[in-house]
Amino acid sequence: MTFQEYQNQTATTAVYPKEQGITYCALKLTSEAGEVADAIGKWIRNHEITDVNDLKYVKHREDVHITLGKIAGEIGDVLWYCSQLATELDLNLEYIAKTNLLKLQQRKEEGTLKERYNEEDLKLSTQQITRFCTICNKPIFEHDTVITVQKGSNIDKQFHTECWVKNNKPQI
């Protein structure tokens, strides 16, 4: 089955207020994604798994197959709402899937397909994030040294000083 065939078939089971279709599908998509996370959380709790990567080692147990079935069902619901949201927005799911893969393949080839933040970046401690650096997209904390560009009384852009210097003081 192609994504286009799937999208066509999901439309035959779409029962919701069409005048609120975009909002309804977006909210339900979020809800179903939460149910996937909830099912995985319960799996981890019930099987005393301390590392999500350990899930693959307990898949042979009968009670785990029940949980995998639940997770698969919730992922199916996420897929259904993705399909319907695309339909409501007059978007082609097949096109979305193909362009998404092309984007990710290009990022991989460029060496930019990686996590945005490393462990040190995520140690927020008691500092507050005020904005994100316009150059590196990493958080700017309240005590960081930054370059600030203002338009009137509003902050337009902020840069970590080292990013600004490293990038040859870009035009602001």
Per-residue pLDDT of the chain (172 residues; tens, 9 = 90+): 999 999 999 999 999 999 999 999 999 999 999 999 988 887 777 765 555 555 555 555 555 556 677 888 899 999 999 999 999 999 999 989 898 888 888 888 877 776 555 555 445 444 455 567 777 767 766 656 666 666 665 666 766 677 767 776 655 5
CB within 8 Å of 76: residues ≥ 6 apart: none
DSSP state letters, 19-67: GGHHHHHHHHHHHHHHHHHHHHHHHHHHTT-SSGGGGGGSTTSHHHHHH
Beta bridge partners of 155: 150
User: CATH 1.10.287.1080 residue ranges in the chain?
Assistant: 3-110
Candidates 3.40.50.12660, 1.10.3720.10, 3.20.20.70, 1.10.287.1080; correct CATH number of 3-110? 1.10.287.1080
Backbone φ and ψ of 78, nearest 5°: -60, -45
Backbone φ and ψ of 80, nearest 5°: -60, -45
Please list the helix, strand and coil fractions of the chain in percent, rounded to the nearest 5, in that order: 60, 10, 30
Q: To 5 degrees, how large is the angle CA 11–CA 95–CA 80?
A: 30
Beta bridge partners of 131: 140
Query: CA–CA separation, 63 vs 49, rounded Å?
Result: 14
> Which tokens hold the place of 159?
């840069």
